[in-house]
Amino acid sequence: MKTAQEYIESLRQLKTRVYMFGEKIDNWVDHPMIRPSINCVAMTYAVAEDPQYADLMTVTSSLTGHKINRFTHLHQSTEDLINKVKMQRLLGQKTASCFQRCVGMDSFNAVFSTTYEVDEKYGTHYHENFKKFLTYIQDEDLVVDGAMTDPKGDRSKAPHDQADPDMYVHVVERRPDGIVVCGAKCHQTGSVNSHWHIFMPTISMGEADKDWAVSFACPTDAEGMYMIYGRQSCDTRKLEEDASIDVGNAKFGGQEALVVLDHVFIPNEYIFLNGEYEFAGMMVERFAGYHRQSYGGCKVGVGDVVIGATALAAEYNGVEKASAVKDKLIEMTHLNETLYCCGIACSSQGFKTKAGNYQIDLLLANVCKQNVTRFPYEIVRLAEDVAGGLMVTMPSQKDFHSETVVGRNGETIGEICNKYFKTKEDVSTEDRQRVLRFLENMCLGAAAVGYRTESMHGAGSPQAQRIMIARQGNIQAKKQLAKDIAGIQ
């Protein structure tokens, strides 16, 4: 398995095309706006090296029998599913951000089981293709981005009805040795930091959409593939001098990008679906289920850090003993642990697929994600309540260090800031700055993209879960229960 440093160095070997602010970024590995997100992924390697986390972070491959990072694993039991959630909570606690490898792990398990059933019906070789690919990924300990979300264009129209066919990734040419694809994927978490991508359909499809019913693997630096880096709130603070406190979380961060495929050639051995449109929905639902389970782990770990920072802010402000503050911290903890309960529940009720890996309980996974679309917003609201207005009105770090004289007795701007933003005698003004800026980052800044907003839209926005809950809820069976007890024939 790779070390954290080996992972970072491996990115330097790629010829990935990255654009930001309208310009190509040559050394994107060391770019101050991108590097925190790379540090997050590196933590998935670093923690795997720590013996105390070996049971969570490493596992024996079902394909090779070798020791591998759990992020490249095919779940072999409900215990595996539970340990996945525990691992994600741990890494959320370590980074307070999105560590970006969950989408790849979830795509592995969805594509593995779906390709088995496609081959079973059509006699294709997609499942064998995928097993060979995943064996390579496990052996090399690589990061793979799971790419599902298409731009969609006019959402009232199916892929084949779009004015621009590139609104969904599709096949533009079929050759004896492979296919050529065009299109794009939006909101791609960790795409720049990945060695490979797995592309999947984003919706169920009909026969007219068979050219859009495609799944395949592609190296991140493939010819014709490039990425346009997404903006985040307060992101340019990372470019400022003397702003490490103002950034909030200077070491770690998330990442999203638009991934564009401009006539990219995909060899046959990396194709996992190619026109079998009736299986597009199966792949979508299975991936979505796994990814909605993931949010019962990663968002809970980040929530742990938000709660801790909120308690620190209360302590630094001198209000930690107030009953109202204690009650708010209890409520934040209650909400966070409820999310964790959902992640554990859908994992413990998992079942074995035809392919042999384990699938979570889809109903409970969607209930988990439905709660994630709500509870982090309340956790953040309570954090902002306890922290106070200074979280968003505090002068810059440069002001606290400024030697510009402004007072009649020769006081500098820095001295004035440190004087008026002083709190308890045993708490430094800088520590108060740090925790408030950290909370600003978590609640409103760049980290909020990977916590609050992603809680709403990641793995499907709320209505997507409600549709699945309606499908899985089995209302007819519940009506029959009522009839049986009420004596209705």
CATH code, domain with 271: 2.40.110.10
Go through 431-448 and write b for each residue having 16 or more CB atoms within 10 A of its CB, e for each that does not.
ebbbbbbbbbbbbbbbbb
The answer to whether residue 285 is domain-embedded is: no
Max alpha carbon distance in the chain (Å)?
Answer: 91
Task: Tell me which residues are annotated as active site.
Answer: 98, 102, 189, 256, 291, 295, 298, 454
Identify the CA nearest to 159 among candidates 215, 104, 202, 193: 202
Does residue 194 share a domain with residue 80? yes
Query: 66 with 169, same domain?
Result: yes
376 and 227, same domain (yes or no): no
Q: Residue 393: is it exposed, middle or buried by C-beta count within 10 angstroms (0-12/13-18/19+)? A: exposed
Inter-residue contact 202 to 150 (CB < 8 Å): yes
Residue type, 287: F
Together in a domain, 317 and 423: yes
> Domain range holding 316?
298-477
> Domain for residue 215, yes or no?
yes
Q: Is residue 482 part of a domain?
A: no
In 3-state terms, what secondary structure has residue 263? Answer: strand
Q: Which of 280, 306, 338 is the last residue of a domain?
A: 280
Of 230, 249, 280, which residue sits at a domain end?
280
Cα gap 414→419, rounded to integer Å = 8
Q: Is 27 found in the same domain as 83?
A: yes
Whether residues 196 and 99 fall in one domain: yes
Give the burial class of 130: count Cβ atoms within 10 A of its Cβ; 0-12 exposed, 13-18 middle, 19 or more buried.
buried
Considering the domain boundaries, does residue 105 fall inside one?
A: yes
Residues 272 and 324 reside in one and the same domain: no
Q: Are strands 271-274 and 214-219 parallel, antiparallel or unpaired?
A: antiparallel
What number of residues does the chain have? 489
Q: Which helix (H) or strand (E) holds 340?
A: helix 323-348
Residue 302 and residue 153 in one domain: no
Q: How many CB atoms lie within 10 A of CB 412?
A: 16
CATH number, position 369:
1.20.140.10
- DSSP category for residue 360: -
Q: Look at residues 230, 246, 280 and tell me which one is the last residue of a structural domain.
A: 280
Q: What proportion of the chain, given as a percentage, has pLDDT over 90? A: 99
Q: Is 104 in the same domain as 248?
A: yes
pLDDT at site 406: 97
Residue 288 covered by a domain: no
- Residue 386 CA to residue 337 CA, distance in Å, equals 20
Residue 447 has pLDDT above 90, yes or no: no
Residue 21 located in a structural domain = yes
Spatial separation of the C-alpha atoms in residues 397 and 437, rounded to whole Å: 10
Strands (E), 282-397: 351-352, 358-359
Q: Are residues 337 and 256 in the same domain?
A: no
Of the chain, the percentage scoring pLDDT greater than 70 comes to: 100
Please tell me the total count of domains within the chain.
Answer: 2
Do residue 163 and residue 266 come from a single domain? yes
Give the pairing of strands 144-147 and 196-199: parallel
Write down the pLDDT at residue 446. 86
Is residue 96 predicted with pLDDT exceeding 90?
A: yes
The band of 290, judged by pLDDT with boundaries at 50, 70 and 90, is very high
Per the domain annotation, does 320 fall within a domain? yes
3-class SS at 332?
helix
pLDDT of residue 468: 96
* Stretch 257-276: mean pLDDT: 98
Asked if residue 386 lies in contact with residue 400, where contact means CB atoms within 8 angstroms, the answer is no
Residue at 198 is within a domain:
yes
Q: How confident is the model at residue 450 (pLDDT cuts 50, 70, 90)?
A: confident
Q: What is the mean pLDDT of residues 310-330?
A: 98
336 and 248 inside one domain: no
